[in-house]
Homo-oligomer: A and B are copies of this chain.
Amino acid sequence: MAAEAAAARPRVALIGSGVIGGGWAGRLVQNGVDTVVHDPHPEAPRRLQEMLENAERAWDRLTLVPRRRGSVTLAGSVAEAVESADVVQESAPENEELKRRLLAEIDRHAPADALVCSSTSGLLPTLLQADMTRPERLVVGHPFNPVYLLPLVEVVAGERTAVEAVDRACAFYSSIGMAPLRVRREVDGFVSDRLLEALWREALWLVHDGVATTGEIDDAIRYGPGLRWAQMGTFLTYRIAGGEGDMRHFFAQFGPALQWPWTRLMDVPELTEELLDTIVAQSDEQADGLSVRDLERRRDDNLVAILQALRSGDDAAGRLLREHEERLLDAAADAIPEVDESEPLRLHGEPVRTDWVDYNGHMTESRYLDVLANASDAFLRHVELNASYLEGGHSLYTAETHIRHLAEAHASDRLDVETQVLAADEKRLHLFHTVRNAGSGTTVATGEHMLLHVDTGSGRVCPMVEPLAGRIGRVASLHAGLPVPEGAGRYIGQPR
């Protein structure tokens, strides 16, 4: 079985190991493929090593799935690199003459049944295969930087390329986690780079004309349309923007703008009925029966997830989100309601969200702690643990939690929480929440929590300062005479 699997894995030769070739090496290693690399540049081994480290670092974060690493061997010549390869991937500089010469050399030395692929970002395969004895095996496989992370690879056939070679290339790229895009017609720049270059030319004009700087142009992408492009392309995005109809509806609204003087480049396709029919039909096929509302929700879920992803790195739109959350936290602090602090406090209530229930319709186990943590947050806001307190370098962290699950909760049930301070000293806060179904009054769960006051810089426990210390102390003393709730102070497995 292992031998069979090994036989199925191709041996790959990489010719050129710069940004693109080194990226290929990174992807292949992370997918368990053994690779031989040839690059005559004196700095090539160092740069290849750096790319392999980048890929290792990225894949360690990308997936928890156990993966076998492929090996990388350096070869002193093209002939040596390709002599026992199943697939050769050429990634030399973007120079037609150089690539033709290299591909002919590869063709002479590679086994007769090896696939030969070029990473060219726009040269026509018909030209690249011109000097090859076996041109039928030449396929363009154009990847995108960083190759070890971006799945797109454009697969393009020349006039003399065999269909079987294209099929083999697509299967190979899929096997290493990529998304092969078969380009229907051989054109300069293929599909993606034609789009990239159009945007790039316009960007250069904007700098040239002093309309925007390079940084402003990048902001005009990464804070807006770029977030959409990461998950839906231009056509599906515009379909949604058009409102509730199909693409014809969009063009009725926005088609005329194509004629506006919005560029230095004004050669625009005429929106004939025929072109419109084509676009409308293709867009319907993409939408695959989903309504604009469905597509909006999918888009929004993706955008939310992407914004949170960027927040985790504190970069781009995620940094804006983090900064804005700090402002919102400040604003929320102003809106504290008056409550009677001598009784258990009712500061939090929320419905059971529809995405919180399991297939039985019950609120899933882990969401109980969502409700309890939200109730603790509401209590902490009440005692003025707000943005300005946090800015002082202190916070309260939960150290221990004890939950009793007492009754089921169902989607859209409204839960209300009652909070009692069991004890507090200068460093600790001991809370008890009772979660009830707001309709029936049934106790659904209880939560008992110990929070510690910490210096957020050092992570060490330290005494609370004002106003928090006084606010918590006041509630604790008012609650000191309340009866201890049933279930407090229990350990797991304690007899009743």
Contact = CB atoms under 8 A, between A and B. Distances in A.
Interface string A400-425: 11111100101110100000001100
Contact of A316 (B1, B19, B184, B302): B302
A361 to B, nearest CB: 7
A211 B224 contact: no
Contact of A400 (B61, B268, B402): B402
A474 interface: no
Given A202-B194, A489-B492, A365 B354 contact: no
Interface in A230-286: 230-236, 238, 240-241, 243, 247, 253-254, 257-258, 260-269, 275, 278-279, 282-283, 285-286
A196 to B, nearest CB: 6
A265 to B, nearest CB: 4
Interface string A316-337: 1100111011111101101110
Nearest to A284: B214
A342 interface: no
Interface stretch (A75-83, A99-107, A163-171, A175-183): A175-183
Interface string A144-182: 111001111010000000000000000000010101010
A382 to B, nearest CB: 11
A314 B361 contact: yes
Given A231-B226, A303-B150, A328-B65, A93 B253 contact: yes
Nearest to A238: B200
Number of copies: 2
A404 B397 CA distance: 11
A471 interface: no
A37 to B, nearest CB: 17
A307 B191 CA distance: 22
B220 A181 contact: yes
A448 B492 contact: yes
Contacts of A179: 219, 223, 317, 320
A50 interface: yes
Contact of A149 (B68, B93, B307, B336): B307
A214 B279 contact: yes
Contacts of A461: none
A224 B150 contact: yes
B359 A260 contact: no
A217 interface: yes
Contacts of A203: 195, 234-235
Contacts of A217: 191, 195, 233-235
Given A269-B205, A354-B305, A489-B491, A223 B257 contact: no
A45 interface: no
B354 A311 contact: yes
A310 B185 contact: no
Given A146-B300, A218-B235, A402 B491 contact: yes
Contact of A189 (B50, B195, B260, B293): B260
B328 A67 contact: yes
A307 to B, nearest CB: 6
A161 to B, nearest CB: 17
A130 interface: no
Contacts of A152: 219-220, 223-225
A398 B402 contact: no
Contacts of A411: 312-313
Contacts of A404: 399-400
A151 B223 contact: yes
Given A296-B146, A298-B313, A381-B66, A218 B234 contact: yes
9 contacts: A66-B329, A184-B211, A185-B209, A191-B212, A213-B282, A265-B267, A298-B313, A365-B376, A430-B492
